[in-house]
A and B are shown apart, each in its own frame.
Chain A
Amino acid sequence: GAGVSQSPRYKVAKRGQDVALRCDPISGHVSLFWYQQALGQGPEFLTYFQNEAQLDKSGLPSDRFFAERPEGSVSTLKIQRTQQEDSAVYLCASSPGQGASTGELFFGEGSRLTVL
């Protein structure tokens, strides 16, 4: 389809495992965002890419979280040594312009991570 695609949709990890979550943005979209949504909460900003450059990573909760977008298209969010508090839905969004300049982000359905 033409929307933002995320995989896997569901991931169960044992505490201490590393996980990688993938995002395919809408083709041609310059900006890509990662948000974390804990149960019963709204999405919280993690990081922002403009093309391949990571311009804002102020929301990453610890150095166990790492995101990349090496060719300015697909992005991967990696979480090392997962902990139970990392359990959440990880949302990827993209937009055609710089940042959220119009306020319209196009979200994927999310990857639900459960850490046991």
Chain B
Amino acid sequence: GDSVTQMEGPVTLSEEAFLTINCTYTATGYPSLFWYVQYPGEGLQLLLKATKADDKGSNKGFEATYRKETTSFHLEKGSVQVSDSAVYFCALRDPMNTGFQKLVFGTGTRLLVSP
């Protein structure tokens, strides 16, 4: 079945450091890929998405490129801020396999940014 694998956390960085959070996926169809973020005390919210191969999603300085050849969707940011401290979830939707209603999530990666 479909699955998403993320790097384990926590990822601990100093402010202004470069961030990469790795995400790889397994899917039988042609999935859309997403990054969700959960800030402390809040619900998950969509950060960015990409719907086909080679698409780049971007938002709030974060970027991720849909790489079909490596089945990856790594999240990057050039300069993190303390306010980026949160848990980041990679997810996919595979309509051909599981329909339009279901998102499959990874286990989440906690990011801690210190001043």
Binding site for B on A (CB under 8 A): 3-4, 31, 33, 40-45, 48, 55-56, 59, 91, 93, 98-101, 103-110
Q: Size of chain B's interface in residues, with CB distance under 8 A?
A: 24
Contacts of B107 in A (CB 8 A): 40-42
18 A-B pairs besides A42-B105, A109-B41 with CB distance below 8 A are A42-B108, A43-B105, A45-B101, A45-B102, A48-B102, A56-B101, A56-B102, A91-B43, A91-B44, A93-B43, A99-B99, A100-B101, A103-B46, A103-B51, A103-B93, A105-B44, A107-B44, A109-B42
CA distance A101 to B108 in the complex (A): 22
8 contacts between A and B (CB under 8 A): A3-B43, A33-B101, A42-B91, A42-B107, A45-B102, A45-B103, A45-B104, A99-B99
A106 to B91, CA, bound (A): 14
B34 cross-chain contacts in A, Cβ below 8 A: 103
Q: How far is the CA of A43 from the CA of B104 in the complex (A)?
A: 8
**B43, B91, B107, B108, most chain A CB atoms within 10 A:** B43
| Minimum CB distance partner of B103 in chain A | A100
Bound together, the chains give a CA A91 to CA B89 distance in angstroms of 14
